[in-house]
């Protein structure tokens, strides 16, 4: 077996040269789910294997960036929490990016649609947001994690009867549509609120960043 080349800082040079499709990297506050309110650096990857009708990400427009470039951008921010999001980040082998970030002491989270299994030990926080209310034929491969977050569009919660046992926290999230009025989004919120009241093992998650008009 050939050993990976290591630079003076103790990093694998082939990791630093690995290229990813990146839509954007920005510093903001997590607006939804269990870690809501915590500042993070968001690394948004290009490409997704699904096409949800409510998707608000232009994951088809991205540029190729090396890990070294990504690390430089992340280092600009006074923040040790990273969220890999997309698109679908798990379409990539994230080890070459995760290794140097772990070396630097970052906490690594992922927001994934769950259609790709996540290797053990890669990430510190796994949030799976399945889309089987839209794509019942697409199986969820990652069936465990810290957080299961489902956009509620009227689907029966029995859809998650088996899946929910693999997760520590369960969230239902109203579908927020920027093209709709405040009243219409309010109706979606009220519907989800009613369902959560009837099924208290689920908690309500709001996309507070959208309601507040921030990234």
Q: Which residues are catalytic?
A: 42, 48, 52, 55-57, 111, 209
E-assigned strands of 51-163? 63-66, 81-85, 107-112, 125-128, 145-152
Residue with tokens 């040079």: 13
Minimum CB distance to ligand SF4, residue 33 (Å): 14
**Residue 131 beta carbon to ligand SF4: minimum distance, rounded to whole angstroms:** 5
49/69 with CB nearer ligand SF4: 49
Q: Identify the helix (H) or strand (E) that includes residue 204.
A: strand 203-204
Give the footprint of ligand SF4 on this chain (CB under 6 A): 48, 50-52, 55, 57, 59, 86-88, 113, 131
12 vs 42, beta carbon nearer ligand SF4: 42
Nearest CA among 87, 92, 165, 86 for reference residue 122? 92
Q: Is the dihedral of CA 24, 26, 32, 35 positive or negative?
A: positive
Report, in Å, the least distance between residue 171 CB and ligand SF4: 15
Peptide bond into 33 cis (omega under 30): no
Min CB(14)–ligand SF4 separation in Å: 28
Closest CA to 203 of 20, 32, 9: 32
Q: Which is nearer to ligand SF4, 16 or 83 (CB)?
A: 83
Q: Which lies closer to ligand SF4 via its Cβ, residue 12 or residue 131?
A: 131
Question: What is the Cα–Cα distance from 193 to 17, expressed in whole angstroms?
Answer: 47
């Amino acid at each position: 077996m050939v050993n990976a080349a290591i630079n003076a800082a103790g990093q694998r040079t082939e990791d630093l040269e690995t290229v990813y499709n990146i839509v954007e990297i920005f510093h903001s506050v997590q607006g939804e789910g269990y870690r809501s309110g915590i500042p993070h650096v968001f690394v948004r990857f290009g490409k997704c294997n699904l096409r949800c009708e409510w998707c608000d990400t232009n994951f088809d427009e991205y540029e190729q960036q090396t890990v070294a470039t990504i690390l430089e951008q992340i280092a600009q921010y006074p923040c040790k929490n990273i969220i890999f999001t997309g698109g679908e980040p798990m379409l990539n082998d994230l080890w070459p990016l995760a290794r140097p970030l772990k070396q630097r002491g970052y906490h690594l989270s992922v927001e994934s649609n769950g259609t790709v299994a996540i290797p053990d030990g890669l990430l510190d926080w796994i949030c799976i947001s399945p889309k089987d209310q839209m794509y019942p034929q697409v199986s969820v491969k990652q069936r465990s994690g810290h957080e299961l977050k489902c956009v509620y569009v009227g689907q029966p919660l029995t859809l998650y009867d088996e899946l929910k046992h693999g997760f520590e926290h369960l969230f239902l999230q109203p579908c927020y549509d920027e093209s709709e009025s405040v009243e219409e989004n309010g109706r979606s919120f009220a519907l989800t609120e009613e369902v959560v009241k009837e099924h208290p093992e689920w908690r309500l998650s709001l996309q507070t960043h959208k309601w507040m008009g921030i990234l």
